Structure 1
Amino acid sequence: MTRYRHHLPQLAGGTFLTDGGMETTLIFHDGIDLPHFAAFILLDTAEGRQALDAYYRRYLNLARAQGTGFILDSATWRANPDWGEKLGYDAVRLADANRRSIDMLAAIREDFDRPGAAHVISGAIGPRGDGYKAGRMNAAEAEDYHSAQIAAFASTEADMVSGFTITNVEEAVGIARAAAARAMPVVISFTVETDGRLITGPTIAEAIEQTDEATLAAPAYYMINCAHPTHFADQLARSGRWRARIGGLRANASTKSHAELDESPTLDPGDPHDLGERYRQLMRLLPSLRVMGGCCGTDHRHLAAICEACLPARAA
């Protein structure tokens, strides 16, 4: 049974943390090899499951200490057909991996249950292609492509699905429609370049407005991920009702561009305290901001800095 599929608690207010840069943490801090940046392959071994379990618990312990809710995003950003094929997973194995990722989160959630703190399980969806490049599907193709992964999540205890690092409106529309067809709440998280625009051209405002128009505002809310706040803060300073549709941020630690990060052999952790301060500043522009986490290069230290900067400001 799902807990929150029909009433996502983050829509009712409060602060919810989520995790940081899963893949960069596992690779650069834990020394784990992740072919094609795919964390879901760790579900296949006891050692891999232990690494994922330890990863999630660092953040859940932080949320417990801060008294916030938590969004548990599954380790399935790469668990879609094209990337699965590169990794030797057929449709049956891929669906099983997606389901097992949610089973793991459900078990972890049981250990952290406490009165007054909601822990929401989200099936993480990544783009069909590279999150740093433009996609080529139209909306109908994207809906068909992502349907299998969403169907797998719908058969589990997942409360919602989240499409991360989305670079184009057509793929966002397809994911939202596929989720709506299975009565799954959906969040769309766009990524932008250093000019604050999607690599395909639209501004964040345009991407949100176009997706809402094409889906009858199907997404529960939108997020921005895999970009540093300096890349999109100017965009968020522009007025419009679209800003109230942004419910979460998962920024990168580094100010580097996607191209620079893609070519870097080392991790750029940035400045956790500066990142926290930038989140605090963005809170003033985003009246619906509820979910705060990180993306590439961030870890539990960055989330602690975000909490230090933002939670007192929210309580004030």
Structure 2
Amino acid sequence: MRTVYRNRLPQLDGAQLLTDSGLETTLLFLESIDLPCFASYPLLESASGREVLRAYFERHLAIAADHEVGFLLEAPTWRASRDWGAELGHTPADLARFNTAAIELLADIRKDSALSPVVISGNIGPRGDGYTPDLVMTAEEAEAYHAEQIGWFSETEADMVSAFTITTVNEGVGIIRAAAAAGMPCVVSYTTETDGRLPDGTPLGEAIERTDMMTAGAAAYFMVNCAHPDHFRSALEADAAWLGRVWGVRANASRLSHAELDAATDLDSGNPAELGHDYARLARMLPNLRVFGGCCGTDHRHVEAMADCCCRQPAA
């Protein structure tokens, strides 16, 4: 087993990286693929499912190639942890196999690509719901729970682990501690409501500061995801040191709240060009913003607009 960037992430050296968009909403709404529990990892079970995932990622890699920037491949494993796997009838042994297969697929995609750098991340989701803090855990409980999935990733070619749609500081802290114990660089991405606060009411800046304090700054960096820029931009309007800890954004296409999105039966894909300009504005507010991608409702069109507005352009 050989890792490429685990000991030196290129984004921390200043490389701009695109990443993908709203995988699950793309598969569900645009490709009409059923996703029980909003889980994409079962697609790894079949050759046809793996081809769907490969085609999805390669659409995004082509955009990075056009803009001469790197790419961050996120494994389709957001739901591939013990509690969510049990909902789908999968044992821990099944989940170990799925998580390993996900990284193997991404490693194959990286090997076949002429793009550089291409970083591989093991993707982790919350133990509970991604929109509400419905499962209260201590940091120690979160560490014990997430250590299992992180341990699987540590035995693969994954360069890092990224935890998305995290709703509480304790869960973020537990994930970072588990990753540190496994020797994996770790990113935690908090989600916010329309008021720029985490779903449990914690202001975004306070959440990042507390997480750093409780982990001695062990996270490689932080991100924000699953919220429209309008929802958290006001939280960034301050001359605060924690802004320098936010290196990536994966925003929603829609301005709907989490509750409204949860109840929606149609996809709100917003305006890709407008979202690209929103990212350019965020880049002026976040001095270290290096990772650009999307979340719910976004697809490759949105990522292309982000790249047009924020990434270096090839020479004419």
The bucket for the TM-score relative to the shorter chain is over 0.9
For residues 6 and 266 of structure 1, do their structure 2 counterparts lie closer, same or farther at Cα, with a shift above 3 Å needed? same
Q: State the AA in 1 paired with 2:127.
A: R
Could you say which residue in structure 1 is the equivalent of 2:272?
A: 272
Q: Which runs of 4+ in 1 moved over 6 A?
A: none
- Structure 2 residue 64 is the aligned partner of structure 1 residue 38: no
Q: State the AA in 1 paired with 2:83.
A: D
The whole-number CA distance in structure 2 between the counterparts of 1:226 and 1:310 is 19
Q: State the AA in 2 paired with 1:74.
A: A
- Map Cα deviations across residues 155-174 of structure 1 (whole Å, 9 max, x no partner): 00000000000000000000
Asked if 2 retains the 8 angstrom alpha-carbon contact of 1:113 and 1:119, the reply is no
The structural deviation recorded for 1:311 is: 2.3
Asked if 1 retains the 8 angstrom alpha-carbon contact of 2:253 and 2:298, the reply is yes
The whole-number CA distance in structure 1 between the counterparts of 2:195 and 2:263 is 19
Q: Secondary structure at the match of 2:285?
A: coil
- Map Cα deviations across residues 64-113 of structure 1 (whole Å, 9 max, x no partner): 11101000000000001110000010010001100110000000001113
The whole-number CA distance in structure 2 between the counterparts of 1:81 and 1:8 is 28
Mean CA deviation greater in 147-156 or 304-313 = 304-313
The structural deviation recorded for 1:308 is: 1.4
- Structure 2 residue 293 is the aligned partner of structure 1 residue 293: yes
The whole-number CA distance in structure 1 between the counterparts of 2:94 and 2:307 is 38
The whole-number CA distance in structure 2 between the counterparts of 1:27 and 1:132 is 18
Asked if 2 retains the 8 angstrom alpha-carbon contact of 1:161 and 1:187, the reply is yes
The whole-number CA distance in structure 1 between the counterparts of 2:230 and 2:4 is 36
Q: State the AA in 2 paired with 1:47.
A: S
What is the TM-score normalised by the length of structure 1?
0.97
Unaligned runs of 5+ residues in structure 1 are none
Asked if 2 retains the 8 angstrom alpha-carbon contact of 1:186 and 1:220, the reply is yes
The whole-number CA distance in structure 2 between the counterparts of 1:163 and 1:311 is 24
The whole-number CA distance in structure 2 between the counterparts of 1:95 and 1:137 is 23
- Structure 2 residue 79 is the aligned partner of structure 1 residue 78: yes
Asked if 1 retains the 8 angstrom alpha-carbon contact of 2:68 and 2:312, the reply is no
Asked if 1 retains the 8 angstrom alpha-carbon contact of 2:143 and 2:174, the reply is yes
The whole-number CA distance in structure 2 between the counterparts of 1:227 and 1:122 is 21
Could you say which residue in structure 1 is the equivalent of 2:52?
A: 51
Could you say which residue in structure 1 is the equivalent of 2:26?
A: 25
Could you say which residue in structure 2 is the equivalent of 1:118?
A: 117
The structural deviation recorded for 1:312 is: 5.5
What is the TM-score normalised by the length of structure 2?
0.97
The whole-number CA distance in structure 1 between the counterparts of 2:25 and 2:104 is 23
Unaligned runs of 5+ residues in structure 2 are none
For residues 312 and 112 of structure 1, do their structure 2 counterparts lie closer, same or farther at Cα, with a shift above 3 Å needed? closer
The whole-number CA distance in structure 2 between the counterparts of 1:31 and 1:68 is 31
Superposition CA RMSD, Å: 1.1
- Map Cα deviations across residues 91-141 of structure 1 (whole Å, 9 max, x no partner): 100011001100000000011134xx2000000000000100103111000
Could you say which residue in structure 2 is the equivalent of 1:193?
A: 193
Mean CA deviation greater in 183-192 or 127-136 = 127-136
- Structure 2 residue 61 is the aligned partner of structure 1 residue 60: yes
Could you say which residue in structure 2 is the equivalent of 1:140?
A: 140
Could you say which residue in structure 2 is the equivalent of 1:131?
A: 130
Could you say which residue in structure 1 is the equivalent of 2:174?
A: 174
The whole-number CA distance in structure 1 between the counterparts of 2:308 and 2:70 is 16
Q: State the AA in 1 paired with 2:125.
A: G
Give the percent of matched residue pairs that are identical in Structure 1 and Structure 2. Answer: 54
Could you say which residue in structure 1 is the equivalent of 2:203?
A: 203
- Structure 2 residue 154 is the aligned partner of structure 1 residue 154: yes
The structural deviation recorded for 1:241 is: 0.5
